[in-house]
Amino acid sequence: MKKVFFIAVLAVFGVTATQAQEVRLGAKGGVNFSSFSGDGFDAFDDPEGRTSFHIGAFAEIPLSERFSIQPEVLYSGQGFDLISREGADDTEVQLDYINVPVMAKVYIVEGLYAEAGPQIGFNVKSEIDTDPDDVDSGDVTIDEDVINDVDFSVGVGAGYQFNNGLFLNARYNFGLTDVFNNEDLLIDSDAKNSVFAVSAGYSF
């Protein structure tokens, strides 16, 4: 799995970088509001979105005055929450990924752009936290066979690039593949990742 991830990163950044003269590198981070979509999510009781974070780097490769390609590598906290019930603690399902999106960006007017593109994610953390507010509480690791290692999704979004290099961005990623490996579940679930992300960053 690690070999596949590094090959994907090298391919995305290496190949595209050779096709552009003015590659702009940068860093970004922000807040994730994640949940699941699909009928299989109904199998969970009272689900709510998980609020987490993402952070990473990108390379924007201009192909024309208004069009560019932007590959990224992001650490992304995803999953969902279960609301506490009487006599029970909150429960947070923590599914974290290394995501590699490749976004096509179109500048509508100066600074303002729309974007869309595919994303591949590699699951690096699968835990259930029965008390997210207590940093000393013990996390329960989910069996690695239950969560699919690779996640495919599509992202759409928009943003604004300031002249000083700062930018703001909002993006929604909707999953295309099942989060759970149904062969190892007692329930049939076609739940897919659903993430709304708000970012801020800087390009050099």
Structure confidence by residue, pLDDT tens digits, 3-29: 555 555 555 555 544 554 589 999 999
pLDDT recorded at residue 68: 96
For residues 43 and 186, give the distance between their C-alpha atoms in angstroms, rounded to a whole number. Answer: 11
Give the pair of three-digit tokens for residue 77. 């906290």
Q: What's residue 134's pLDDT?
A: 60
Question: Is residue 76 within 8 Å of residue 119, measured between CB atoms?
Answer: no
Distance CA 191, CA 175 (A): 9
Identity of the amino acid at 157: G
Query: Mean of the pLDDT values across residues 77-104?
Result: 82
Q: What residues contact 73, with CB distance under 8 A and at least 6 apart?
A: 9, 56, 57, 58, 98, 99, 100
d(CA 44, CA 40): 8
Confidence of residue 145 (pLDDT cuts 50, 70, 90): confident
